[in-house]
């Protein structure tokens, strides 16, 4: 007798549903993604008993015609693919038929939909047994309702968490979903009460401040080729989370999990926050569908990028640029007038452009206001047209916002040296110019407390307490950074130098490319574990370039980036800085504060500790019951 038997269709469908529908949260996820695919601009989620008794998703999308309703509940039925190739370049979330088939097999399911024709029809499926299509009360869009989830699979329902935990998971998903889909209005109701709302006029920063109460967020946007990244990130001084769960990642509107991209976000805060503290950041990545594989996970929670290194560096740079020069704190709120797009803009209530962290210290400059993005995210714009001209290839992206493009080194040709490496006739790279000084806020030095803290009074009635040691550390640290960048002038090699690394070294070189490039090197992949060095520091031209490069990579592999990159620089800054207990004159204090306000990241010292504590005069008055 045969031991292997073919399962009945109803049994197979329930087992297959487990790949997509493990918990009520998965049902909400699949149905909301279907709504976005249908072009919905408003989605309402209603749940009861943590989603076990009721899940109802209502959207204003284009709807499903009566002839397609039965097919929508069948497995392997979709309008989004006709060949294997279509699966890997789909510009949508997924395959509606697969999700609805899975949900309908483990619930008492109703699908009601109205199209542009004005007629509405519905179809019901009781735990996989599908009924007929019937006329229904008019709706504009689609209503998907799942009742008594997992009632026919008691073994799965028995191991679920309590209804409160299931409810919390769904609400959390809806909140995070709204952060990476700013063009969709979202609301979630639990047991008849509104748990969260996100309106169309609210941009990602405002939504993020609702998801993470008490936090201010900065917007950052960056585009490279056909890829674009938009982020809403907390300032370094506000990074007090103990876990990485505040880092929200989305690719083309789909929430994903990617440890590498989480690390890309964390890297942007290196030397700005203490160890063991993490930011709250929403990262919205938009990329061509054929440059990302979203089918590596049954529930599509993981993706693979065609050029993961480029995306990694793009995310790091977008996050870093969002809070660069922003000060310590940021509070957001809607502005009265509307921007060109018709939606309310969002401002950062800071003292100066990228300046001190005192709300309403001076008038808000125009450059601080959130601008309308130059690039409007629209997935259809990233799809490849039928006849697309072949563009010139872009240079690979590298961290720090630099492109490994050919550089102009001199009007003189590079001449071969006896070592076989070309050297320049004259150095061509000039030191990086210092950033233009920002306007300083108006303040008065009130004195020094304990020979450690400088007290400043501002014109707007705020009091600043500044740690003089931490402030001087930040000043010296950034000065050392600028000096090192200026000293590391480099040249382009006429003939690239090849170097072969071990697999571990090669992976380390990719992960730490920004550090290696900061030393004045540029490199590209030329084979398995083989690299071509295209640019070197001018002091390394006469040396064994391959050996010097390999030594840097080996040191990075052994010590790690935190020790290699700028720990010595931070240590030297700490040793040379003014100490706690040093008495300063009023002139010295004023000069120190001015230098501090002209650093890029004066919110924290190189070790991540805060530099400034702000107290309003109103708060001080309350202490005296005034």
Give buried/exposed letters for 80-108 (b at 16+ CB in 10 A, else e). beeeeeeeeebebbbbbbbbbbbbbbbbb
Q: Give 83-120 pLDDT, tens digit per residue.
A: 445 444 444 554 445 678 889 889 999 999 998 888 89
Q: Please report the domains of the chain, with CATH numbers, ordered by start residue.
A: 9-198 (3.30.565.10), 204-381 (3.30.230.10), 397-428+485-559 (3.30.1370.100), 443-483+571-623 (3.30.1540.20)
- The pLDDT, as a whole number, for residue 277 is 85
Residues 285 and 251: their CA atoms lie apart, in Å, by 5
**Mean pLDDT of the region 582-604:** 84
Average pLDDT over residues 419-430: 34
Give the best-scoring range by mean pLDDT among 181-190, 271-280, 401-410, 564-573: 181-190
First to last CA, the chain: 91
* From 187-191, 277-281, 298-302, the region with the lowest mean pLDDT: 298-302
Cα separation, 147 vs 254, in Å, equals 25
**In DSSP terms, which residues pair with 42 in a beta bridge?**
185
d(CA 167, CA 46): 11
pLDDT for the residue 184 = 95
- What is the mean predicted confidence (pLDDT) over 188-210? 94
Tell me the DSSP string of 325-352. T--S---EEEEEEE-TTSSEEEEE--SS
pLDDT in tens, 9-36: 666 555 555 456 889 999 999 999 999 9
**pLDDT score, position 421:** 35
* Cβ proximity of 146 and 134 under 8 Å: no
Q: Is the pLDDT of residue 469 over 50?
A: yes
pLDDT of 422: 36
The model's pLDDT over 138-167, given as tens digits with 9 standing for 90+, comes to: 999 999 999 999 998 888 888 899 999 999
Q: How far is CA 191 from CA 30, 51, 103, 198, 327, in A?
A: 21, 10, 21, 19, 42
pLDDT tens per residue, range 217-243: 999 999 988 899 999 999 887 888 888
pLDDT at 429 over 80: no
Strands 134-135 and 120-126: antiparallel
**pLDDT given for residue 396 in this prediction:** 62
Q: Rounded mean pLDDT of 540-567? A: 70
Of 367 and 619, more confident: 619
pLDDT by residue (tens digit) across 55-87? 999 999 998 989 989 888 886 555 554 444 544
User: What's the whole-model pTM score?
Assistant: 0.64
Q: What is the pLDDT of residue 400?
A: 46
Q: pLDDT for 358-411, tens place per residue? A: 232 222 233 333 333 333 333 333 333 344 444 455 556 654 443 333 332 222
Q: What is the pLDDT of residue 136?
A: 92
**Residue 605 in this model has a pLDDT that exceeds 90:** no
What share of the chain in percent tops pLDDT 90? 28
Residue 355 has a CB neighbour count (10 Å cut-off) of 23
Greater confidence, 204 or 516? 204
> Which pair of tokens denotes residue 584?
């300063």
Residues of the chain with pLDDT > 70, as a percent, come to 68
The more confidently predicted of residues 302 and 559 is: 302
Inter-residue contact 232 to 208 (CB < 8 Å)? yes
């Amino acid at each position: 007798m045969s031991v292997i038997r073919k399962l009945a269709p109803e049994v197979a469908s329930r087992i297959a549903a487990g790949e997509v529908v493990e918990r009520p949260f998965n049902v909400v996820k699949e149905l909301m993604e279907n709504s976005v695919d249908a072009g919905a601009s408003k989605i309402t989620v209603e749940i009861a008993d943590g989603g076990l008794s009721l899940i109802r998703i209502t959207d204003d999308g284009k709807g499903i015609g009566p002839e397609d309703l039965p097919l929508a509940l069948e497995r392997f039925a979709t309008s989004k693919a006709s060949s294997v190739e279509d699966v890997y370049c789909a510009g949508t979330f997924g395959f509606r038929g697969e999700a609805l088939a899975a949900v309908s097999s483990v619930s008492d399911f109703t699908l009601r939909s109205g199209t542009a024709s004005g007629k509405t029809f519905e179809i019901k499926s009781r735990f996989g047994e599908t009924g007929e299509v019937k006329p229904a009360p008019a709706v504009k869009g689609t209503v998907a309702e799942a009742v008594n989830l997992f009632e026919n699979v008691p073994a799965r329902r028995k191991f679920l968490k309590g209804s409160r935990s299931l409810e919390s998971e769904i609400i959390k998903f809806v909140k995070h979903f709204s952060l990476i889909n700013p063009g969709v209005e979202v609301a979630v109701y639990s047991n008849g009460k509104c748990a969260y709302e996100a309106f169309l006029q609210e941009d990602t920063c405002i939504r993020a401040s609702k998801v993470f109460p008490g936090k201010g967020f900065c917007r950052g946007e960056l585009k490279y080729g056909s890829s674009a990244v938009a982020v809403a990130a907390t300032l370094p001084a506000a990074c007090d989370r103990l876990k990485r769960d505040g880092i929200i990642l989305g690719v083309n509107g789909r929430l994903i999990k990617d440890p590498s991209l989480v690390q890309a976000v964390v890297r942007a805060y290196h030397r700005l926050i203490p160890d063991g503290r993490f930011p709250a950041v929403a990262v919205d990545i938009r990329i061509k569908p054929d440059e990302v594989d979203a089918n590596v996970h049954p529930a599509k929670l993981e993706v693979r990028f065609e050029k993961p290194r480029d995306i990694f560096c793009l995310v790091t740079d977008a996050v870093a640029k969002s809070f660069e020069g922003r000060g310590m704190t940021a509070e957001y709120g809607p502005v009265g007038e509307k921007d060109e797009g018709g939606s309310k803009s969002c401002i950062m209530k800071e003292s100066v452009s990228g300046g001190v962290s005192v709300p309403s210290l001076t008038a808000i400059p125009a450059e601080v206001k959130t601008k309308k993005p130059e690039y409007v995210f629209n997935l259809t714009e990233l799809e490849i047209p039928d006849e697309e001209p072949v563009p010139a290839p872009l240079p690979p992206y590298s961290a720090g916002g630099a492109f490994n493009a050919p550089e102009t080194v001199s009007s003189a040709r590079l001449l071969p040296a006896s070592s076989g490496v070309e050297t320049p006739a004259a150095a061509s790279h000039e030191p990086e110019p210092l950033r233009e000084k920002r306007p300083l806020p108006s303040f008065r030095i009130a004195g020094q407390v304990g020979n450690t803290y400088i007290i400043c009074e501002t014109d707007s009635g705020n009091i600043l307490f500044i740690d003089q040691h931490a402030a001087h550390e930040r000043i010296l640290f950034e000065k050392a950074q600028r000096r090192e960048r200026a000293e590391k002038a480099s040249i382009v090699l006429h003939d690239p130098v090849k170097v072969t690394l071990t697999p571990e070294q090669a992976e380390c070189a990719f992960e730490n490319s920004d550090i290696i490039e900061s030393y004045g090197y540029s490199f590209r992949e030329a084979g398995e574990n083989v690299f071509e060095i295209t640019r070197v520091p001018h002091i390394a031209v006469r040396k064994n370039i391959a050996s010097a490069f390999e030594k840097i990579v080996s040191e990075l592999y052994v010590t790690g980036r935190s020790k290699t990159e700028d720990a010595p620089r931070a240590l030297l800054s700490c040793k040379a800085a003014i100490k706690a207990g040093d008495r300063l004159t009023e002139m010295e204090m004023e000069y120190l504060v001015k230098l501090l306000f002209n650093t890029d990241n004066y919110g924290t010292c190189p070790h991540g500790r805060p530099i400034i504590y702000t107290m309003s005069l109103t708060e001080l008055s309350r202490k005296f019951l005034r």
